[in-house]
Amino acid sequence: MQDILTAYGLVMDECHIQAFGSGLINATWKVSHADKVYILQRINHQVFKQPALIAQNIRAIGHHLKKHHPDYFFVQPVLTTDKRDMVVTAEGEYYRLQPFVANSHSYDVVNNEQLAYEAARQFGRFTRLLSGIDTNEIQVTLPDFHNLTLRYAQFEQAVKHGNPARVAGAANDINTIRHYKYLTEIFTSIQHSPYFKVRVMHHDTKISNVLFDANNKGICVIDLDTVMPGYFISDFGDMMRTYLSPASEEETDFSKVKVRKEYYTAIVNGYLSEMKDELSVTEQAHLVYAGQFMVYMQAIRFLTDYFNNDSYYGAKYEQHNLLRARNQLTLLESITQQEQTLSSVATH
Ligand code: GN1
Ligand code: MG
Q: What is the pLDDT of residues 174-207, one digit of tens each?
A: 999 999 999 999 999 999 999 999 999 999 999 9
Residues 6+ apart with CB under 8 A from 281: 195
Does residue 104 fall inside a structural domain? Answer: no
132 and 271 together in one domain: yes
Bridge partners (DSSP) listed for residue 283: none
CB of residue 27 inside a 6 A radius of ligand 1: no
153 Cβ inside 6 Å of ligand 1: no
- Beta strands 218-221 and 228-230, pairing class: unpaired
What's the 14 CA to ligand 1 centre distance in angstroms?
33
Residues 29 and 157 in one domain: no
Spacing, Cα 225 to ligand 2 middle (Å) = 7
pTM value > 0.85: yes
Among protein residues, the one whose CA lies closest to atom 16 of ligand 1? 25
Ligand nearest to the CA of 25: 1
> Cβ(150) to ligand 1 under 6 A?
no
Residue 25 beta carbon below 6 angstroms from any ligand 1 atom: yes
Give the chain's domain count.
2
**How crowded is residue 179: how many other Cβ atoms within 10 Å of its Cβ?**
10
134 is in which domain, residue-wise?
Answer: 113-346
pLDDT tens-digit profile, the chain (348 residues)? 889 999 999 999 999 999 998 788 899 999 999 889 999 999 999 999 999 999 999 999 999 999 999 999 999 899 999 999 999 998 889 999 999 998 999 998 899 999 999 999 999 999 999 999 999 999 999 999 999 999 999 999 999 999 999 999 999 999 999 999 999 999 999 999 999 999 999 999 999 999 999 999 999 999 999 999 999 999 999 999 999 999 999 999 999 999 999 999 999 999 999 999 999 999 999 999 999 999 999 999 999 999 999 999 999 999 999 999 999 999 999 999 999 999 999 765
Same domain, 279 and 143: yes
- Ligand 1 in reach of 49 Cβ (< 6 A): no
Is residue 107 domain-resident?
A: no
Same domain, 331 and 207: yes
pLDDT in tens, 295-308: 999 999 999 999 99
Question: 220 - beta bridge partners?
Answer: 211
**CA–CA dist 192, 187 (Å, integer):** 9
Cα(227) to centroid(ligand 2), Å: 10
Integer CA distances (angstroms), 151 to 65, 252, 298, 312, in order: 33, 24, 9, 13
What are the distances in angstroms from CA 37 to CA 13, 17, 31, 191, 208?
15, 10, 6, 43, 18
Q: Which atom of ligand 1 is nearest to the CA of 47?
A: 11
Q: Which ligand is nearest to the CA of 222?
A: 2
Q: Which residues pair with 30 in a beta bridge?
A: 18, 39
Q: Do residues 94 and 158 both lie within one domain?
A: no
Q: Provide the terminal-to-terminal Cα distance of the chain, rounded to the nearest Å.
A: 50
Residues 6+ apart with CB under 8 A from 287: 236, 268, 342, 343
- CB of 152 within 8 A of CB of 250? no
Q: Which atom of ligand 1 lies at the shortest distance from residue 241's CA?
A: 14
- Helices 320-337, 171-179: axis angle to 10 degrees equals 40
Listed in sequence order, the residues at least 6 apart from 126 whose beta carbon sits closer than 8 Å to its beta carbon are 200, 202, 220, 221
User: Are residue 94 and residue 145 in the same domain, yes or no?
Assistant: no
**The ligand 1 atom nearest the CA atom of 238:** 14
185 and 229 share one domain: yes
- Same domain? For 12 and 151 the reply is no
Nearest CA to ligand 1 atom 1: 24
Within this chain, do residues 137 and 257 fall inside the same structural domain, yes or no? yes
For residue 293, tell me if it sits in a domain.
Answer: yes
Q: Are residues 268 and 331 in the same domain?
A: yes
Ligand 1, atom 11: closest residue by C-alpha: 25
One domain for residues 87 and 150: no
* CA–CA separation, 207 and 108 (whole Å): 6
Q: Is the CB of 204 under 6 A from ligand 1?
A: yes
Decide if 154 is inside a domain.
yes
